[in-house]
Amino acid sequence: MASKSVFERKARFFAGTTTLDLSVQGLSLTAAQWRALSFTMSIQQDSTQPIDRQLIRQAMRGKRQSLSDQQQLKHAKAIAKHAMSANFFTRAQTIAIYLANDGEANPVVLAEKSLYRGKQCVLPILHPTKKGFLQFADYRLPRKKNKFGIEEPISREFVKAQQLDLVFMPLVAFDQQGGRLGMGGGFYDRSFEFLRHSTLPKPKLIGLAHSFQQVESLPIEEWDVPMHAIVTEKGLIEF
């Protein structure tokens, strides 16, 4: 692991009775982002999400959205290089990726290189009847936008979660224990819940992220499915 950034900040937020000790590498918020955080902390919490998860989401989403196209491409290339040199990649045939949204680490370079190497790439689709679950279909099919504005393949043939060898997952923040914070829909947790009771070694769940998305420790929820590894532009972190 690279040494900690000189920009490392340690911020302690008090939100009601919830105390969040958030160490974020390289997180420097703009005045607008700090105002947004202060606002979030001052409002009465009325959702099902604990406030600390919301705060981390808000800060990280702001930070990743502010990356330039040039930085995004640089990270996408580095992530592809690190992911493709891992053993789990060499062995995999069917790989789930995603279409980057909201400043997420972009798997497009990885996807194109994977196809070139003869792997099958699939994209997540919101399950039309099994609420909160994902199914998967081929990356190269025509697409349409889902309710979040993210494109998904138009298909009648699906790849089940159990059939995948590797799943590259989008995330908002990750921690040193392999914990993942996503966009808050619980889609990946529900879809790969079976891994918690499975003896099979697949699929391997690999998070893709910008290195600044790392926090010291995320609040763990009972439904969280741990990741096997994370790939950032700085390298591979295995858990």
Ligand X SMILES: Nc1nc2c(c(=O)[nH]1)N(C=O)[C@@H](CNc1ccc(C(=O)N[C@@H](CCC(=O)O)C(=O)O)cc1)CN2
Ligand Y SMILES: Nc1ncnc2c1ncn2[C@@H]1O[C@H](COP(=O)(O)OP(=O)(O)OP(=O)(O)O)[C@@H](O)[C@H]1O
- Choosing from 13, 89, 187, 212, the residue that interacts with ligand X (CB under 6 A) is 187
Query: In this structure, are residues 228 and 186 in contact, taking their beta carbons and an 8 Å threshold?
Result: no
Residue 228 CB, nearest approach to ligand X (Å): 18
Nearer to ligand X by C-beta: 178 or 182? 182
Residue 88, contacted partner among ligand Y, ligand X, none, CB below 5-8 A by kind:
none
Question: Rounded to an integer, what distance in angstroms lies between the CA atom of residue 19 and that of residue 14?
Answer: 5
Q: Considering the complex, state which of residue 16 and residue 30 has its C-beta at the smaller distance from ligand Y.
A: 16
3-class SS letters over 59-98: HHHHHHHCCCHHHHHHHHHHHHHHHHCCHHHHHCCEEECC
Q: Binding residue for ligand X (CB under 6 A) from 85, 101, 162, 198?
A: 101
- Taking residues 128 to 147 in sequence order and writing x for each that binds ligand X by CB under 6 A, - otherwise, the string is ------x-------------
Tell me how far the alpha carbon of residue 134 is from its chain's centroid.
Answer: 15
Structure-derived torsion over alpha carbons of residues 174, 140, 120, 82, reported in degrees to the nearest 10 = -40
* Residue 237 dihedral angles phi and psi, to the nearest 5°: -120, 115
Single residue of 98, 139, 188, 212 touching ligand Y by CB under 6 A: 188
> Taking CB under 6 A as the rule, which mask of x and - marks residues 26-65 in contact with ligand Y?
----------------------x-----------------
Cβ-count burial of 200 within 10 angstroms (0-12 exposed, 13-18 middle, 19+ buried)?
exposed
Decide: residue 98, CB within 10 A, 0-12 exposed, 13-18 middle, 19+ buried. Answer: buried
**Partner interacting with residue 192 (select from ligand X, ligand Y, none; CB below 5-8 Å by kind):** none
- Using CB positions, name the residue nearest to ligand X: 187
d(CA 83, CA 236): 7
| Residue 136 binds: one of ligand Y, ligand X, none (C-beta under 5 to 8 A by kind) | none
Minimum CB–partner distance for residue 54 and ligand Y (Å): 10
**Interaction residues for ligand X, span 154-183 (CB under 6 A):** 170, 182-183
Give contact residues for ligand X (rule: CB under 6 A). 98-101, 104, 124, 134, 148, 150, 170, 182-183, 185, 187-188
